[in-house]
Amino acid sequence: MKIRLGTLLLTSAALISPAAAQDAASVLQAADKAMGASAVKSVAYSGAGTMRYPGQSYEPNGDWPRAPMTSYSATIDYGSKSAKEEYAVDVAKKERGGGLAAPRTTNFVSGNYAWNLNAQGQPNPQPTQAELREFIITISPHGFIKAALASGNATIEDRYFNRLDQTVKVIGFTAGKYRITGEFDKDNLLTRVVTWFPSPVMGDMAIEVRYTDWKDVGGGAKFPFHIHAHQGDHPLNTGGRNWFDIRVTDAKVNVPEAAITVPENVRNAPAPQVRVASQKLADGVWYIGGGSHNSVAVEFKDYVALIEAPLDDARTNAAIAETHKLIPNKPIRYVVNTHHHWDHLGGIRAAVAEGATIVADDRDRDFYRNVVLAPQPRSLSPDRLSQFPFAATGPGTLALQTFTDRATIGDETRVLELYHVEGLNHATDMLVAYLPQSKILVNADLYSPPPAGGNLQNVGENAVVLFNNIKRLKLDVAQHVPIHGNPGPQADFERIVGPVAARSRPTGDGG
C-alpha cells in the first residue's frame, strides 16, 4: 500500500495541539544547531549528476527524458532571496523525448525577478519562473529551517514508516499558500522535503527532495552531498517522476558577494500577459498566434474545431475567446491536441470546460482520462474546469475521442484530416493536421519555417521525419503552419529539408 505523507499531514494538521507546536519549535531549534542553518547567510555548491525534462516524456505516462549533467553549480543568498544555477549537459546523450537540450544553461532569481542568459550571454527576462525559483530557495536544506522557524505555525508528528522500519519526526508549516513538510533523522538532519506546487496539467503537483550524505563544510554548518528530487506524483497516476540528481563534490557557506544584482532590462521588463494576434490563412481557417505556442481555428457549417490548446488556462482561454470573436455564434465542438507534452497539453482542461471534445492519439487515452481530466486537487491555482467541475461530468461532456492512425473531422463545408506521425523520437503520440482544400499542414515541434526565402541554421531530425511522413501520406502541401513560429511555404520546406532528408535516407529505401 502506498502511503502519501503529504496527504496525511494535510488532513491531520488541524488536530495538532499547542503543545505539539512547542515540540516542533524544539525540534527545529535542534535541527538549526545540527545543520548550522541560522549561521548560514549564503551557500555555494557544485558537482555533477543527471537532469530530466519535466512533462516531455516520449510516451504519455513514461519517464521524463534524462540527460547527464557534466557539471552543476549553484549559489543561494538567503538575505536577498537570490540564487544562481549553472549546468552543462551532454546533449549527445539526452534520451528521446522533448525538451531543449542546450549545452549550457544559466538561471537566476532575485526576489520577484527571474532571468537566464541567452546564446549571446545577455540577460533574458523570465518573469513566469520567479515563483518556482524562489520556492526552491525556501525548500533548500537551510532555507527550510529558516522558513519553518519564521513561519510561527510549524507543527510536528511522529510517523512510522514500514519501508524503513523506523519512526521519524515530521515538521509541517505553511508559507503563504504553500504547505511544506520535512522529515528529520535521529541526528536532527533534514532528510526529505515534501510539498506541492501548481501545474496546469497535474494540479497541486507533489515535489519531493531528498537530502543525504551530510558533511561538515566549515563555519559550524553541514550540507548534503547528495540531492535527489522528483515531482509529478498524482493519486490516480503510477507515481512521481525523477527530476534531478546531484552528487555534490564541493560546498561552502557564507561565500562573499553571493547576492545577485538584477539587470536593468530584467527589472524594467513588462509584466507577462497573454497576447493574441490572429490572421486569416484561407477560407474558414485562422491562425491564432501572438505567443510562443499558438493555435489554428477551423470553421465548419455548424461548429468550429480548434487545433491545439497549449500552455495553460490563460493562453487557451484567450485562444477560445479570439476564436469566438472570429467565428461568432458557433460552438467549439472539437479541440485537436497534437501530443502529450505539457506545454501543448496544459490548456485542454479549459477546452473541456468550454464543452469541446478533445481529439488525440489513442496512446493518450489512459493518461488524459485518469490524470489530466480526472477530478484532482487544484487549490494552489484553480483553473476553469476545477471551478466548474460539472462541465466534465454530464452525459457526453467529458469527451475524449482517440484514433490510432488517421481520423477525419468534417462536413460539406470542409475536411480536417489527422494523421499519426511515424518514426519520431520526440513523442510517440504525435499527430499532424491537414486541410486538403487549402493545402495547409499544421505541425507542432517538427518544423518552424524561417522568414520567407530564408534558411534554418540547423535542420533537426524532427523536420526530416515530417518530410518523410508527408511523402508517405502523399499529402499535397502548399503551406506549413507551425504551433511555434509563423507560417511558411512548402517550397521553402522542400528547399531546406529535402536535401537533408535525402542524405538521411538509408541506402535502398525508395520511399
Cα-Cα end-to-end distance for the chain = 52
In percent, how much of the chain has pLDDT > 90?
A: 83
The pTM of this model reads: 0.92
Over residues 417-474, the pLDDT tens digits come to 999 999 999 999 999 999 999 999 999 999 999 998 899 989 999 999 999 999 999 9
> Residue 105 and residue 115: Cα distance in Å, rounded?
11
Residues present in the chain in total: 511
CATH of domain 277-504: 3.60.15.10
> Residue 312 and residue 499: Cα distance in Å, rounded?
37
368 DSSP assignment: I
> Residue 274 and residue 311: Cα distance in Å, rounded?
11
Its CATH architecture, for the domain 27-267, is Clam (2.50)
> In sequence order, which residues have a C-beta less than 8 Å from that of residue 219 and are 6 or more positions away?
36, 39, 40, 253, 254
Query: The dihedral of CA 425, 426, 428, 429: what is its sign?
Result: negative
Which pLDDT belongs to residue 11? 33
Residue from 401, 432, 435 nearest 415 by CA: 435
Which pLDDT belongs to residue 16? 44
> Residue 431 and residue 339: Cα distance in Å, rounded?
7
Residue 5 reports pLDDT greater than 70:
no
Residue from 328, 289, 290 nearest 307 by CA: 289
Residue from 315, 258, 263, 313 nearest 114 by CA: 263
Which pLDDT belongs to residue 113? 98
Residue from 260, 262, 258, 261 nearest 42 by CA: 258
Residue 160 reports pLDDT greater than 90:
no
Which pLDDT belongs to residue 468? 98
Common-topology check for domains 27-267 and 277-504: no
> Residue 121 and residue 52: Cα distance in Å, rounded?
23
Pairing of strands 203-218, 221-233: antiparallel
Confidence of residue 392 (pLDDT cuts 50, 70, 90): low
Residue from 372, 412, 374 nearest 392 by CA: 374
Q: What is the mean pLDDT of residues 130-139?
A: 97
Domain extent listing, the chain: 27-267, 277-504
Q: What is the mean pLDDT of residues 282-295?
A: 97
CA triple 39-45-48, angle to 5 deg: 155
- By CB atoms closer than 10 A (0-12, 13-18, 19+), residue 260 is buried
Which pLDDT belongs to residue 223? 98
Strand partners, 288: 278, 295
Which pLDDT belongs to residue 239? 62
Over residues 22-61, the pLDDT tens digits come to 689 999 999 999 999 999 999 999 999 999 999 999 999 9
User: Which of 146-155, 174-183, 232-241, 291-300 bottoms out in mean pLDDT, i.e. has the lowest?
Assistant: 232-241
Strand partners, 480: 441, 488
Work out the number of other CB atoms within 10 angstroms of the CB of residue 477. 19
Over residues 195-228, the pLDDT tens digits come to 999 999 999 999 999 999 999 999 999 999 999 9
